[in-house]
Amino acid sequence: MPEIGGSDLKTLIDGSWIETERWLDVHNKYNGDVIGRVPICDESHVEKAVNSASAAAKRMAKLPAYERAEILEKASETLLNSSEDLAKTISAEAGKPLKFSRRETKRAHITLKFASEEAKRVTGETIAFDGEPRGVQRSGYWFRVPVGIVAAITPFNDPLNLVAHKIGPAIAAGNATVLKPSSLTPLSALNLARVLTDCGLPLGSLNVVTGAGNQIGKKLVSDPRVRLVTFTGGVEAARDIVNWAGIKRLAMELGSNCPAIVMNDAQLDSALECCVESSYSCQGQNCLHAQRFYIQDGIYAEFVHRMTSIVEKLILGDPLNEKTDVGPMITEREAARVEEWVNDALKKGAKLLVGGRRDGKMFSPTLLEDIPNDTKIANEEVFGPVSAVYKFHKLSEAIEASNRTDYGLQAGIFTKNVNTALRAVQDLDFGGVLVNDTSDFRVDFMPFGGLKLSGLGREGIRFAIEEMTEIKTVIYKTIGGEV
């Protein structure tokens, strides 16, 4: 792995590590130092990458499952053995505090581990054709085949594990992949590509195009040879992809404005711990970031007082410092946008309980109260270290308010009452509902995705493999007389 303070990294196209005429500087998000450079690809590089993947897809489809599994298993162990270097790279290029970067590297190891196991379970079923009279002389089965070429577009906030979530299932399913990582955090993705090639991934089956998405994204997703686009990012970029893609499969995780409901009977210490971490870990730059907290009136005053006290003590600073809780936002432009949203809420009547300060890319952990419904923070995904508290009396009020946005990724409820929990599970309009936890939890093999504007399809290794494969049906008709 490259050392922090870094070097030039080549990109991977058609089995070779190449340079281009132009280079993109990758900065330490805390101090602005250049920690590495990557090539800036253009449309010609995308064409070469898709050509390579097209040829490799035929070879990958015939690669035995045990060999795909062995490659992924070996890569998983390599990530584990290199986890500290990888974590430091993540912290430097993404601004994520080191304790959370370490967690991400371990998750990436687990993601590839499960992809290795699932590679051997891409199976089908027999079909009982005699379930209707016309099928009496027929028998058969269905099985899964790879789609061919997967275009994977990944964001900056989990620059290693979210790449593993795209590439791991694609390899397990027998596909070739063209990866477009975030131009803000490409080092982790290239490190993972190096690991996979060193662990025996067939040349040409993984290609990486680096550079700005607005310059090469359309060329990639519109190519008719690409049969699936898997994308994690924002709704506006997703709309462009939908317009460009043509007739092909789309799998999209598009973020949310996640709520959590805290009932009077909740275990308060546990709820507070979960709510604070899910609000401010990774600067709130997380699709599962808990942004809205609905607190029942019997505990509202105590909860808000205690949460405010905890948030005031969070340490804002260098992500490579072991004590840091909250690091810099990904760019100063994003920090300024969050500041604008907070100021707009305050002008419309919201109350600032703690935080609200910006210094360049650093935005202090912020908690707001009494936010009007016509503010962006109440309705959109803030993607920053900002959350809001609301008071409610009846559960129905909290559920109705939770469902008010156009998003629906995950939601949480804290209660000791099983009937209350089951009602919330039934009525919350989200792809996942967590009981006695916030939205900010997933294991990497569960079905993960949202309703409404939060996305299309599901991630989680087995479920991603289903997105990345097609069903082929085989039917035998018995003919002739006795044998």
Question: Are 424 and 460 in the same domain?
Answer: no
Residue 312 annotated in active site: no
Indicate if 77 and 215 belong to the same structural domain: yes
The mean per-residue pLDDT over the stretch 108-120 comes to: 98
End-to-end, the C-alpha distance of the chain in Å comes to 65
Quick one: average pLDDT of 160-174?
98
Please identify which of the residues 41, 274, 282, 287 carries the catalytic annotation.
287
Cα-to-chain-centroid distance, residue 114? 16
| pLDDT at 4 exceeding the cut of 60 | no
449 in a structural domain: no
Is 236 assigned a catalytic role? no
- Residue in 64, 464, 432, 470 with CA at minimum distance from that of residue 231: 464
- The answer as to whether 431 is a domain residue is yes
Query: Same structural domain for residues 373 and 231?
Result: no
Q: How far apart are CA 165 and CA 113, in angstroms?
A: 11
State the pLDDT at residue 5.
38
Q: Is residue 166 domain-shared with residue 17, that is, in the same domain? A: yes
Nearest residue to 53 via CA among 219, 279, 206:
206
Instruction: Report residue 93 as tokens.
Output: 């290029």
Percent of the chain at pLDDT > 90 equals 96
Q: Nearest CA to 169 among 286, 82, 68, 61?
A: 68
Statement to judge: residues 226 and 290 lie in one domain = no
* Tally of domains within the chain: 2
Distance separating alpha carbons of residues 412 and 399, to the nearest angstrom = 11
Is the C-alpha dihedral spanning 392, 397, 399, 405 positive or negative?
A: negative
Question: How confident is residue 91, by pLDDT bands cut at 50, 70 and 90?
Answer: very high
The burial class, CB within 10 Å (0-12 / 13-18 / 19+), for 371 is buried
Give the CATH number for residue 272: 3.40.309.10
State the pLDDT confidence band at 335, using cuts at 50, 70 and 90. Answer: very high
Regarding whether 195 and 56 lie in a shared domain, the answer is yes
Range of the domain at 343: 258-435
High-pLDDT (> 70) share of the chain, %:
98
Query: Predicted confidence band at 8 (pLDDT cuts at 50, 70, 90)?
Result: confident
Q: What is the pLDDT of residue 214?
A: 86
Q: Of 93, 104, 253, 459, which is the active-site residue?
A: 253
At 7 the pLDDT is 67
Q: What is the pLDDT of residue 1?
A: 40
